[in-house]
A and B are shown apart, each in its own frame.
Chain A
Amino acid sequence: MIHLQKEDTKLMVAVHGWSGIILGLLLYAVVVTGMVAVFAEEIGIWSAGHVETSSAFERPIDATVRELGRRTPARYHEGADLFEIGDHDLGVFFHRHETDADGDLVARGIYYQLDRDGRIASERHGTGEEVFGPRNDDALSSFLVDTHVRLHVPDPWGLILTGILGLAMLVAAISGLLIHRHLFKDIFTLRRKANPVLVDRDRHSVAGTWSLPFAFLLAFTGSFFSFFGTIGVPIVAMAAFGGDVQALNDAVFGNPAKPDTRIVGIGNLDRIAADSIRRTGEAPTFVTIENFGRADSQVTSFHPPRERGLEPQTLLYSGATGAFERVKPSIGTRPSAGGTLAAVMAPIHFGNFAGIVSKAVWFGLGFAMCYVTLTGLRLWLARRREGSRSLGWLERAVTVVGFGLPLALLVSAAAFLIAMPLGSAVFWTPAAFVGAALLAVLGGVVLRSNALLDAIVQSASAAIMIALPILRLATGGPGWARAIDAGQPVIVALDIAFVLAGGWMLWRLHGDRLRREAAAPALQPAE
């Protein structure tokens, strides 16, 4: 229990309420999309019908990358990043670092997208910001992640905005802890037969208290990610390196070595990939080659954390010979407190450190956070309604965002399933989201009661959830037998999850109506 003076408690209640009210709806949007984005990879597999299970790094890539190196101008050999795209295909970005006209450090080069047979499917020239973007087969998962990370506001403002929302969540979490007079009692108090406001308050309190440590961690790591590149790195580079961001990057992420510009070719990348898989037990998620083809070239492979581990695994190889050099920390050249702390921020935020189990826990706690944000907003409004300071417009806004946003996400998923086979998913996924969001706003303006708006939006969401698996199959997605044969049970699991969630929502809505009808006494003609 935390004992504050009465005045301090009142202040903390105000801070808790206003931090939620001012930024609550935007925060809710970030939390909802973050909760869904926990399964962005699985949603990508489900929506695009990806049935390949072996990593691109488990297939031969050496000859392909060697050939790409030959056709790429030497000025872009400063770095080559290798990563998976689409259905375990390979993406390769040859680049160099330079300062653009605005004084920002950028990576400029050529981005190759390869097909399953290692042929070039696409070749894009430009800066990282210009060449990377959603593809037809990952438009849905990219859209989800981009909404969560920057709310589609251009850089750097989107990241700054989500960083501020992270700080608001941090304030709400800490003030939420401080205003609990009886923390342990509140965790278990659910008065089901009290008046509706008290019942809602208890539910908000219980869900909020249980998810408090989680909210704190997410807010802390989320604001770290948002502010890291936009504000933090330029300021620390200014203080420590006179503003030289590249020098800071080299110090923190680089592999310092004596420069040797002799051209000697590249070691066997297939041997490096196989050796890294043997040592870590996992295929790389990312491979970076510094000074491609030079005698001082170094290859770094990044792997998921070991079982029961939290920090990702990183191995260093000589680029010239392909010989294994050492296990290195993700950040810095040797293990250190700062490097380890920074390296565990990503697994803590994404919840991907223990596979599907940790992701499921993160999703569940994310759902609790959504519930806490939404019920918190509604409680704040209910208290003002009791004090005859009704804020009808805000109540509508809470419904439009609270239920309209999940509806718009579901509509965008449906649009993706229809548009992907036609090759136009990059346009239609966000367009359908905007269309559905505008419809929800219109409903908020024209419908006569908030309850009716609530019921329509929730019913539509439930119906779309049930329809999504049917739509997926109708538009050429793999059937259950094929998905299981291919080792992708996640496709079946998501189909079932959508149907169950939609069915549960309909049952709740329908059950509520039936209960209301049973509870209301029928009027007799004499009355």
Chain B
Amino acid sequence: MSPRMRGWIRIGFAGPGAVIVALVVMAGMALWLPGGAAGIDNLVLPLVLVPLIWAALFFHACLDSRLGRIALVAIGLFVVHAGLVANKFLDTKSHGQPAAAGEARR
């Protein structure tokens, strides 16, 4: 792969890639984080942490010398969290009423 091409791929992961992955991670986190004492940690922490998740993905894409590792981390996070959200939707469709994630966590 040419250095120019590698540069563009890196920009893709640092730019739109980091935004998309951060938003999907925020959605997915609501489904696996524990609810905590008040049953709201899984809802609140993703909202609070999303700027930091984005920054971590951005700087990782800028600074990691291995492009493969950048792709692995970003795509891995995306697949896991998008899968969780998709599973929740499929589950909701098959059971009818959406279950409150906060209730499920307690």
A residues in contact (CB < 8 Å) with B:
4-5, 8, 11-12, 15, 166-167, 170-171, 174-175, 219-220, 223-224, 227-228, 231-233, 235-236, 238-242, 244, 247-248, 251-252, 329, 331-339, 341-342, 345
Contacts and interface: CB of A to CB of B under 8 A. Distances in A.
B47 A334 contact: no
17 contacts: A11-B63, A223-B51, A232-B50, A235-B27, A236-B46, A238-B27, A239-B28, A240-B43, A240-B102, A241-B98, A241-B100, A242-B89, A242-B92, A251-B43, A333-B38, A335-B37, A338-B45
A240 B101 contact: yes
Main secondary structure of the interface of B (DSSP, over half): helix
Interface in B86-101: 88-89, 92, 98, 100-101
B62 interface: yes
In this complex, the member of A228, A231, A239 whose beta carbon has the largest number of chain B beta carbons within 10 angstroms is A239
B80 interface: no
A227 B50 contact: yes
B55 to A, nearest CB: 5
Contacts of B59: 174-175
Contact of A167 (B30, B54, B92): B54
Contacts of A334: 37-38
B36 interface: yes
Main secondary structure of the interface of A (DSSP, over half): helix
Given A174-B55, A240-B101, A336-B37, A228 B27 contact: no
A334 B59 CA distance: 36
B34 to A, nearest CB: 10
Contact of A341 (B23, B28, B44, B85): B44
Contacts of A331: 38, 40, 44
B40 A224 contact: no
A342 B49 CA distance: 10
Interface in B1-60: 23, 26-28, 30-31, 36-48, 50-52, 54-55, 58-59
Contact of B47 (A8, A11, A228): A228
Given A233-B47, A336-B38, A338-B44, A239 B54 contact: no
A239 B48 contact: no
A251 B40 contact: yes
Given A11-B62, A235-B26, 19 more contacts: A15-B62, A170-B51, A170-B55, A220-B52, A232-B46, A239-B30, A240-B30, A242-B89, A247-B100, A251-B40, A252-B40, A332-B39, A333-B38, A336-B41, A338-B36, A338-B40, A338-B41, A342-B44, A342-B47
A41 to B, nearest CB: 26
A233 B27 CA distance: 10
A341 B48 contact: yes
A236 B37 contact: no
A249 B88 CA distance: 20
Contacts of B100: 240-241, 247, 251
Size category, B interface: 35 or more
A252 B43 contact: yes
Contacts of B102: 240, 251
A230 to B, nearest CB: 11
A242 B98 contact: yes
Contact of B51 (A224, A236, A252, A338): A224
A331 to B, nearest CB: 6
A5 B42 CA distance: 38
B23 A236 contact: no
Nearest to A227: B50
Contacts of B38: 329, 331-336, 338-339
B59 to A, nearest CB: 6
B47 to A, nearest CB: 4
Contacts of B48: 224, 338, 341-342, 345
Contacts of B89: 242
B63 A8 contact: yes
Contacts of B39: 251, 332-333, 336
A271 to B, nearest CB: 28
Contacts of A228: 47
Closest 5 CB pairs of A and B: A332-B38, A242-B98, A240-B101, A338-B44, A338-B41
Contacts of B26: 232, 235-236
B43 A167 contact: no
Contacts of B92: 242
Contact of B42 (A223, A232, A240, A335): A240
Contact of A338 (B43, B55, B58, B98): B43
B82 to A, nearest CB: 10
B62 A12 contact: yes
Nearest to A238: B27
In this complex, the member of A175, A219, A223, A232 whose beta carbon has the largest number of chain B beta carbons within 10 angstroms is A232
Contacts of A240: 30-31, 42-43, 100-102
Contacts of A227: 50-51
Contact of B45 (A5, A242, A341): A341
In this complex, the member of B30, B44, B45 whose beta carbon has the largest number of chain A beta carbons within 10 angstroms is B44
A380 B78 CA distance: 36
A239 B44 contact: no
A236 B63 contact: no
Contacts of B98: 241-242, 244
Nearest to B23: A235
Contacts of A252: 40, 43-44
B43 to A, nearest CB: 6
A332 B101 contact: no
A236 B29 CA distance: 9
A337 B43 contact: no
A174 B40 CA distance: 30
Nearest to B59: A174
A177 to B, nearest CB: 11
